[in-house]
Amino acid sequence: MTSAHIPVEADWDQAPSLMEGALNLELSAATCDLSYWLNAVPQGTLRGRVLGHSDSVRPLDVVRQEGPLNTALKQELAFRSLAEEKATRAIGHLVALAPDNDCMEFYATQLIDEARHAMVFRSHLLQLGTAERELSAEIDRLAADDRDAILVPLEDFGLRVLRDERDFIGGVLILTVLVEGVLAPAAELSERKWRVFDPAAADIERGAGIDEIRHLTVGSSILREHLRRRPQDKPRLLELMAEGYKLWGRLPTSEQLLRRENLFQQGIQEHGHLLGDYEAWPGRRLKDTTPQERMETGQDWAHRMQRTRLAFMGLEEAV
Ligand code: FE
Ligand code: FE
């Protein structure tokens, strides 16, 4: 069977990392239409990896058995799967409100991407000891508090703009800059943290990260084009950003990250020898890092991502 040419940015082996791709690539809704996606994603990125990794890639026993690594990863996966589910549902509004066919097709593909992310994060819990019939109850047990404290306020904000005000471009701004722009660097950190302990989880992150390059770059390009056509919308969008940043400031995200990193740290203390000289980022061995350091590194990446994306759109005053 001959396969069509897979674009480099969606190729499993050749795609850049999420941070690198989202900082340096330019993709538009017109490029990333439905025919692009059908070729690049189901037949490219996901070929042989419908559940996010190939069958032969599995977590190490120290992650499958009960212990701090198991708990840390389960909490993270449960929370992420709820976040992705909420994103999927919200993107339904972007599909409905899309002003043209390119944007409609692009958000229809992003909707499927996010639904897939929710599925793969959820289904990986089955590899970590959760029984299938207990999956929803386990997700609630692991992540309902964080869902109510973090995801629900963000969702309410997004739904006010998308569902109540029917503001397409405002919704793109919230999704691209406030939600994905903030969460993407955490996803990259997660891929790096789990690469040795659970290569399947790291691959799941890698695949989601490849999709995320597209979501961030296309969302930014839609905003940039919109502002070029309608510069009079800029003050309104800046106001929305300010409101969004204020909301983030009130959410207990640092507490959540610190809790997760402290568990991971216990895992390093018990099983760090398995990490060898593996580096979390160039020049820094994962087993030498501290919870604080990993958190701050993720936050640095998030700030860099936001500054770069906002400058590209012409909203640099927002930071
Ligand atoms: Fe996602
Ligand atoms: Fe996304």
Determine the distance separating the centroid of ligand 1 and the alpha carbon of 266, expressed in angstroms.
28
Determine the distance separating the centroid of ligand 2 and the alpha carbon of 6, expressed in angstroms.
20
What share of the chain in percent tops pLDDT 70? Answer: 99
Mean pLDDT of 67-84: 97
The pLDDT of residue 236 is above 80: yes
Q: What is the pLDDT of residue 3?
A: 53
Determine the distance separating the centroid of ligand 2 and the alpha carbon of 174, expressed in angstroms.
12
Map out the domains of the chain as residue ranges: 21-318
pLDDT tens profile 20-64: 998 889 999 999 999 999 999 999 999 989 889 998 999 999 999
Looking at domain 21-318, what is its CATH homologous superfamily? Answer: Ribonucleotide Reductase, subunit A (1.10.620.20)
d(CA 2, CA 20): 30
Determine the distance separating the centroid of ligand 2 and the alpha carbon of 302, expressed in angstroms.
15
What share of the chain in percent tops pLDDT 90? Answer: 86
Ligand lying nearest the CA atom of residue 212: 2
Confidence of residue 16 (pLDDT cuts 50, 70, 90): very high
Confidence of residue 4 (pLDDT cuts 50, 70, 90): low
Determine the distance separating the centroid of ligand 1 and the alpha carbon of 285, expressed in angstroms.
28
Q: What is the pLDDT of residue 211?
A: 96
Q: What is the pLDDT of residue 1?
A: 40
CA atoms within 13 A on the CB side of 313: 32
213 Cβ contact partners less than 8 Å away, ≥ 6 residues apart: 9, 15, 16, 18, 21, 22, 25, 27
pTM score: 0.95
Output the average pLDDT for the chain: 94
Mean pLDDT of 279-303: 95
Q: Per residue in 179-196, is it b (16+ CB within 10 Å) or e — as a string? A: bbbbbbbbbbbbbbbbbb
Ligand lying nearest the CA atom of residue 80: 1
Determine the distance separating the centroid of ligand 2 and the alpha carbon of 16, expressed in angstroms.
16
Q: What is the pLDDT of residue 182?
A: 81
Ligand lying nearest the CA atom of residue 121: 1
Cβ 312 vs Cβ 278: under 8 Å: no
The pLDDT of residue 316 is above 50: yes
Determine the distance separating the centroid of ligand 1 and the alpha carbon of 114, expressed in angstroms.
4
d(CA 162, CA 266): 42
Determine the distance separating the centroid of ligand 2 and the alpha carbon of 88, expressed in angstroms.
9
d(CA 207, CA 50): 10
d(CA 79, CA 101): 33
